[in-house]
Amino acid sequence: MAFGRRRQAEEPEKGTEAQAEPAEAAEEAPAKAESPEGGPWDSEDSFPEIQRLDFGALQVPVAPGLGFQVNIEPTQVDAEGNPTDGRPVAVLVQYEESAMQLQVFAAPKRSGIWEDVRRETARDIEEEAKGQTQEGEGPFGPELLAMVPAALTEEVLAEMPQEVREQIPAEFVEQGWAPQIIRFLGVDGPRWFLQAVVQGAAIEDEEQWQVLEDVLRGVVVHRGDAPMPPRDLLELKIPKEFSEAGQEDGEAAEGEENFNPFERGPEITEVR
């Protein structure tokens, strides 16, 4: 089975040309987190100092054109089942028509868990979602590409922009579903495991994927010293910039006058 995605066997070296660009040109260029090869990083590593949002266990690079969401898992509900409290469980990085969800988990001290997680994810997709999977090699090592059926109900179609609806083949609309490609990447770090799930145009569009890849390479993981069972989510938090960006007057916090990563605005979503 082949899903048709191009692989990057070799990447040209990046960094020197970008550093030579003037600041004005950089603002008009596609978003890139200016981190060299080598990441994601552990907080104990010597990592490059670039601008990042502090999500607690995850420090995520910011760059022009990026949008961010925090996925919230409800922990308390009222009598009617509406969530009254919750905890952040994932960070969603958005760029144009692409999105990358980031989650970080505790892992054993002496072994990684990506091989087991990858195998279990493939089994769940094939058995429960009735999808297809294939393994491959990517810039971060072994990864998983999945094709799953996505529902195209009247409600889903109604929420789509008209230009998107018009591009959906008539046969998909008639059958009520369309194939959706999802890319799973994993990185085993010291006592942590970082998973990235990519959807949208970046599956095929090399420029949009490069933006997300640069973000992933610039992530810093703060594991902490507390003992945790493997696969438990590391604690995330909502960055202070989210509330600051939401202020009606739009004034930046003191010392952050030039901070503006939210061209599309910060959002908080719930995981049901």
What are the Cα distances from residue 261, in Å, to 33, 194, 242, 270?
12, 23, 10, 22
| pTM of the shown model | 0.74
pLDDT at 153: 78
Q: Are 36 and 6 in contact (CB under 8 A)?
A: no
Token duo for residue 198 = 């990519």
pLDDT at 177: 75
Token duo for residue 165 = 């609806």
Low-confidence ranges of the chain (pLDDT < 50): 1-36, 248-250, 252-272
pLDDT at 95: 95
Question: In terms of DSSP bridges, do strands 41-42 and 220-221 run parallel, antiparallel, or are they unpaired?
Answer: parallel
**How many CB atoms neighbour CB 129 within 10 A?**
16
Q: Convert 148-173 to b/e letters by CB count within 10 Å (16 or more is b).
A: bbbebeeeeeeeeeeeeeeeeeeeee
pLDDT at 156: 74
